[in-house]
Structures are given as structure tokens and as C-alpha cells.
Amino acid sequence: MPEQTYLEAIRAGLHEEMSRDSSVYVLGEDVALGGPFGVTKGLSEGFGVHRVVNTPISEGTVMGLAIGAATAGLRPVVEIMFIDFITLAMDQLVNHAAKLHYMSGGQLKIPLTVRVQCGISGAMGAHHSQSLESWLAHVPGLKVVMPSNPADAKGLLKAAIRDDNPVIFIEHRGLYRTRGKVPDGDHLVPIGRAAVLREGKQVTIVALANTVGVALAAADELAGGGISTEVIDPRSISPLDVETIVESVKKTSRMIIVHEAVEKGGIGAEITATVQEHALYYLDAPILRIAAPFAPVPASPSLEKQFLPNQACIVKAVRKLFG
């Protein structure tokens, strides 16, 4: 099983799907040059400029073009440089891509994948560091996935490209250089299935994207103090694997949710409400959320560090659950 970076795994997934299916096209700003972080580097040389298409700096136009291509039978993969910029394409994405299958009585399929980069890393400031996954998960008709490691990045991307529905594939730029083993062959990760990364008996931590590694480190620290922690990576937030999370909470009786998005209106609130509906009488303590404060992301490196949920926050919260 070879080791790859998160970035390399995404590129490999794109290459494999473009080789397998000639209807897969890549579109976006500077994608033929590799994109802002080099994810698509080399694809235009391998597949030609007609399948790796540089576009104007107009996210709404690009999204509309891709939706039209999808209705015509292609499988476009659109790159939006930063999730902050997806706001410029929300009309096309929310009012057309998400609804056309329903509005056409099932006659139209929208096999569209939108690759978008999110997260707090590198002191890029308020316009390049947001986590807006809960906005997108609120829209019926859109699937939303957030891989936390190279194997899942490749497997979920391949699954997204093969899906007949629009899938928002959210990449955390703080993970691009992280490394991990990626299975050989046609590796697919089913959309809508969570991963239990560490089994435990006393508390469940549900963490997203870049916070998964932080949660696992916190679990190691807590184990030294005698607290057995289960760590779950949802991988997909729409659809959400409710069963895996609820069964874990029924076993541990305590839960903490960790994400980089601001706490107010974040996906953690939805997970909290869902778990309480299914497992309220199993809980021995309130469900806690650890997230960013309700403020724009600061550009200062020192303030950015304080803004992020960290290992100490998680450990403190878990110990609070035990009084």
C-alpha cells in the first residue's frame, strides 16, 4: 500500500477517473497550470486542454457552464479555489444544480463534482479561510463530503465523480502536505458512511477534516489519564451516517463535536440535535461543541492560532464531562 500526500491522492483520483471515463472534464481558474495549490498539475499534459479547461474568473459562470455540461451527459469536476468564493456561485449551485433532478421529475441527472478548498491555515485572513460546509449541507439535492486523510480523499473523490448527483468535495488546505497510506487499485469510499478511527468506551468525539488529527492526539492524552475515547470521522456530512454516531453514543454515553467552522449554526448543532433525538436517555452529560468563535478569521498568525480548536480545548472539554 503506497504512501501519498493528501494532495497527491486527490490528483491520483482525478487522473484515474479521467482515464477510466472520457466524459470526466476538469474546469476552473488556472487548472491547466495546476491550480493555486498544484492539485491539477500535469493533467492538461496528460489529457489535453479540451478536458482540463482554464476558465474566466467568474465562479457563477463556471458553475452554470458545468451544470449545463452535466445535464448534457458529461461529468464535470469544477475547482473553486476557496470555499469563500463559492458564494459567487450559490445561485447556480443551490437553485439549479440541487433542484434540476427534482424539478424535471427525475428526467435530468446532474453528475457534477465541485472541488473546493476550505479551512484555517497559513494566515490567509477572513476572505480565504472560512468553513461553510453547514451552508451547503442545508440544501436538499447536494451531497457534501469532507475527507480528513489521503486514502479517504482519493476514495471519496472517485465516488463523487461517479455519483449522478451534485457532490461538494471539500478539501482542507492544512491537510494537503499530510501523508498516509492509500490502497492500491480502484479504491472507493462510499458517500454517507462514517469511519470509526479509534474505539473507546467512555466518550465519543466526532471531528471533521483537519480537527480529526487533533482529536486523535487528544484521545491519546486522555488515555494516559484513564479515559477511553472513541473518535469518529463522519467523512460525509450530507448524507450523514447517523447510525454509526448514535450507536457510539449509546455505548459511551458522552459526546463532543469538533469542527473549525464557527460554532453558531455549524454542522455540530445539527449532529447534536440528531443524536439527542435518537439517544437522549443514553446521555450522562450534555453534548459539547468545540469550534471557532463567532468572528471573522484573523489574518495575524498568532491570533489565527488562538482562533483554532486545539488539543488542549478537547482534553479540557472531555474532563468537564466527567466533572
Contact 81, 36 (CB under 8 A): yes
Half-sphere exposure of 57 (CA within 13 A, CB side): 2
Q: How many Cβ atoms from other residues are within 10 Å of residue 229's Cβ?
A: 26
Active-site residue flag, 128: yes
Torsion, CA 200, CA 202, CA 205, CA 211, rounded to 10: -70
CA distances in angstroms from 257 to 20, 183, 273, 296, listed in the order given: 38, 29, 12, 21
The type of residue at 249 is V
Q: Torsions phi, psi of 27, nearest 5?
A: -130, 145
Which of 96, 101, 128, 259 does the annotation list as catalytic?
Answer: 128
Sequence length of the chain is: 323
R_g over Cα of the chain: 19
Rounded to whole angstroms, the Cα distance separating 268 from 80 reads 24
Half-sphere exposure of 99 (CA within 13 A, CB side): 9
| Widest distance between CA atoms in the chain | 61
Rounded to whole angstroms, the Cα distance separating 207 from 314 reads 11
Rounded to whole angstroms, the Cα distance separating 178 from 10 reads 12
Annotated catalytic sites, by residue?
128
